[in-house]
Amino acid sequence: MLKVKTASVMLCVLVLCAGLAAQAPRPSVTTEAGALEGLLDPATQVAVFKGVPFAAPPVGELRWREPQPVAPWSGIRDAGRFGPSPMQRVHGDFLPWTLEYLVQNEVGEDSLYLNVWTPRAEAGAKLPVVVYIPGGAFTEGSGAIPIYDGARLAARGLVVVTINYRLGIFGFFSHPELTAESPHHSSGNYGLLDQLAALGWVQCNIGAFGGDPSRVTVWGQSAGAFSVGALLASPRAKGLFQRALAGSGLSVAARPMQDRAAAEREGARFAAERGVADLKALRALPAVDLVGTGGFRPIVDGWLLNDTPTAGNAAGAGLDVPVMTGFMANDPLLSLPTLSSAEAYEGHLRQVFGVAAQRFRELYPAGDLETMRRVLLESARDRQRVAGFLWARQRVRAGQSPVYTYHFERAVPWPEHPEYGAFHSGELPYFFDNLGVLARPWTPVDRELADLVVGYLERFASTGNPNRPGAPAWAPVDGATPQTQQLGERVQPMALCSPERLEFWRGQLDAAPGSIGGSAGK
């Protein structure tokens, strides 16, 4: 009988607690545009505000225009769910990227929303702020992707913001008529302008969420890192952030960028091929018919970007702020050829290196086909580290702020697919402290590494220097010592490569044209 009464009492307590939880006030914040009501993350008790508009919907007449101010609202806006992700194709697993790395919610042109996680939703807390720019080759991505959940980072004392920006043709379409109607005589780069608008929103509003607008770190990975490189070089970004972090990554090895004139010709050709006569007709085209069309990307537009970011970096143009940047060990797998024979390998060497092919063979000897494949990856890693170091050396020679580079070599545990190793985007579960988002056989090494790199990130966002007591020392690039920080089972300084290989790659990279470094892939 006593057991029955005890059970009954416990049931009543649980029901009462559930009722009190349901009645608990939701976190609220007032922005310049109006009041927001968010949610509490149940695991961390961090306040979360999702789907917060930072610009007017870029639809109708606002398609291919600079982001416009948010229309104020009355009452309280529900900020308990993500806004639509930018227009893109939504698909299933795209290995090595599983669903946790991909957009899963609705998409639409009305997508200029951001999300905020904060441990103290109160003015005056003055916490460091991290603003994350998603990757996705400028054709996909979203601030709502599961691996970017900011709750655990925020629980470490950061205010975390993830943003959307226009993608593909919606974000980077250029046309002579668009240039003519622009007050800045520019077109294209609308996606980058969205990023600037989001950073401007942060400057005006993040204090109400407990953030410090004088300690903002802009962070991007892949296409997001490409974006960080552009923002660092842009005079329009002055005062919007005080530190920058770029994963996969910033370097002198880059694909060339179009100038505005070339982009306008491409845009005019696109319109002519579809039989569209003018901007009004272009803006009237259904958004779903434009997804996946063209190869539209950031350009040197003469207003947001006056030159390629790599040229600006070498000249000391743009923002002189501390930078952390690095690459994944297997980033090169995105671009390495699939070799079917020794003849294909030799053809690849002749095409890429020309008269320097023989020197490459001496530095990277290979016998059978399997060794040739391994050599290509090994050499690409060396090139990647050297290219990142040269970018950092340019920067420290032209400016005053430090640059910290890294080589992330820890592979996400994945028994079913060991072939991917330390794949592109594989560092994100560690840096976001989100190992639990992926159902993988994590080890103590992974948990220790995640704790370490989050500590580096938190310290960098707070002070501009990732070093903290108890963590392995991380030296900034000094221009004379060719090394980087190894992040993996071992965390320590590491040489870029042998002196002979370093000399080879410096010669190759000095001869190659550059723009923004790194891949613009996932």
Q: What is the pLDDT of residues 258-291, one digit of tens each?
A: 999 999 999 999 999 999 989 999 999 999 999 9
Torsion of CA 330, 331, 334, 339, to 10 degrees: -40
Token pair, residue 500, equals 């002979």
List, for residues 98-144, the tens digit of each pLDDT value.
999 999 999 999 999 999 999 999 999 999 999 999 999 999 999 99
Residue 383 located in a structural domain: yes
pLDDT at 294: 84
- Whether residue 311 is contained in a domain is answered as yes
Count of alpha carbons within 13 Å of 260, Cβ hemisphere only? 21
Per the omega criterion (within 30 degrees of 0), is the bond before 96 cis?
Answer: yes
**pLDDT at 465 (0 to 100):** 98
Instruction: Determine the structural domain holding residue 399 and report its residue range.
Output: 30-343+379-517
Which residue in this structure is represented by tokens 């691996």? 147
In a domain, 489, yes or no: yes
Q: With contact defined as beta carbons under 8 Å apart, do 25 and 39 qualify?
A: no
Structure tokens at 515: 């723009």
Place of tokens 């609202």: 73
**Which element (helix H / strand E) includes 451?**
helix 444-463
User: Rounded distance, CA 482 to CA 480, Å?
Assistant: 6
If we measure between CA atoms, which residue out of 82, 76, 83 comes closest to residue 26? Answer: 76
Is there a domain that residue 370 lies in?
no
Asked, for residue 488, whether it belongs to a domain, the answer is yes
Q: Please report the DSSP string for 243-308 in residue order.
A: EEEEES---S-EE---BHHHHHHHHHHHHHHTT--SHHHHHHS-HHHHTT-S-----B-SSS-SS-
d(CA 144, CA 494): 35
The CATH number of residue 448's host domain is 3.40.50.1820
How far is the C-alpha of 40 from the C-alpha of 330, rounded, in Å? 37
Give the tens place of pLDDT for each residue, 302-332.
999 999 999 999 888 899 999 999 999 999 9
8 Å CB contact between 164 and 111: yes
Domain membership flag for residue 111: yes
Cα angle, residue 266 at apex, residues 236 and 190 outer, rounded to 5°: 25
pLDDT recorded at residue 512: 59
Q: Which residues of the chain have pLDDT under 50?
A: 1-11, 13-21, 513-521
Rg (CA), the chain: 24
Q: Residue 92 is encoded by which pair of tokens?
A: 């299933």
Mean pLDDT of the chain: 92
**What integer pLDDT is reported at residue 317 of this predicted model?**
87
The pLDDT score that the predictor gives to residue 23 is: 57
C-alpha–C-alpha distance, residues 211 and 123, integer Å: 8
Do the domain assignments include residue 359?
no
**How far apart are alpha carbons 158 and 155 in whole angstroms?**
7
pLDDT of residue 511: 66
Residue 391 lies in a domain: yes
| Count of structural domains, the chain | 1
- Cα separation, 265 vs 259, in Å, equals 10
